[in-house]
Structure 1
């Protein structure tokens, strides 16, 4: 797992799969290609480059398997975003490794705290965050899909 530009072929494919899964679960039907295109248009992913953030792609035996991003909200707080592991790679400890790498990248950007927001129906994601030390916090932002927020102190830079 390593930082990678958000617009490489692998990163773009992972971002499309991420949006397809979360939108399809929310709508309780398959998302269309047009809906995925619209969802990714102007989604702010360009901020996931230093110094405002970082995008990471994880590979398993060379195949793009996971992605995630870190967005600096201020000088000390980063937001975890777009964390996704393709279904074929789940259950192999990749999601936990992705969180470790994203936390490391956040520290390199100066963050001492990580926050995230998610939906209540994304039970697997919520379980992952709690298993990795994230605790429920008061809402730090608003939006149509912000149903629960989590935070974690990251400590000092690596």
Structure 2
């Protein structure tokens, strides 16, 4: 677990995306991004459709992992890494609740995802970002993610970013 530098007790914990806690936070992720996409609160049907169309079950075991961010006992975010091929991972399901945005939760989460990825042999982390997720795009750039050639044909992939991770000390 990691504590944010801002002095707030933000921690991360590994969870199974199929668990009640994992499904609940991934559902909040989809509620946020679907709602932002449409410019209105997402309906339950829209959230369920997104969860079926883009499942998160592979964010465990040898294919990836999912972390939750907690502020004390409350889950306030999540993020995962999907292991694409040897040495390459993809950030996914990055979500920070609006109540804690600006407190370093995103930085804490990404830092922990990078550290865990590096310990699993990942040397490059990549991700896609929609154009309307301006603050997320800005955060990734501040954390060293740079524009790369497109690697996804998703209609929601407006930006393709990647970062080389430093080798871990063995």
SS at match of 2:62: coil
The root-mean-square deviation of aligned C-alpha atoms, in Å, is 1.3
* 1:127-146 deviation line (CA, Å, top 9, x unaligned): 11011111111111111101
Alpha-carbon separation, structure 1, partners of 2:74 and 2:41: 24
Greater than 3 Å deviation, 4+ residue runs = none
Gaps of 5+ in 1: none
Partner of 2:5 in structure 1?
A: none
- How many residue pairs match? The answer is 158
Q: Does 1:31 align with 2:37?
A: no
SS at match of 1:46: coil
SS at match of 2:99: helix
Displacement of 1:42 after TM fit?
4.8
Q: Is the 8 A contact 2:15 2:21 kept in 1?
A: no
Alignment of 1:58-137 (within 5 A): 58-137=69-148
Instruction: Give me the TM-score of the superposition, normalised by structure 1.
Output: 0.94
Displacement of 1:150 after TM fit?
0.6
Q: Which moves more between the two structures, 96-105 or 36-45?
A: 36-45
Displacement of 1:123 after TM fit?
0.3
Q: Which moves more between the two structures, 64-73 or 25-34?
A: 25-34
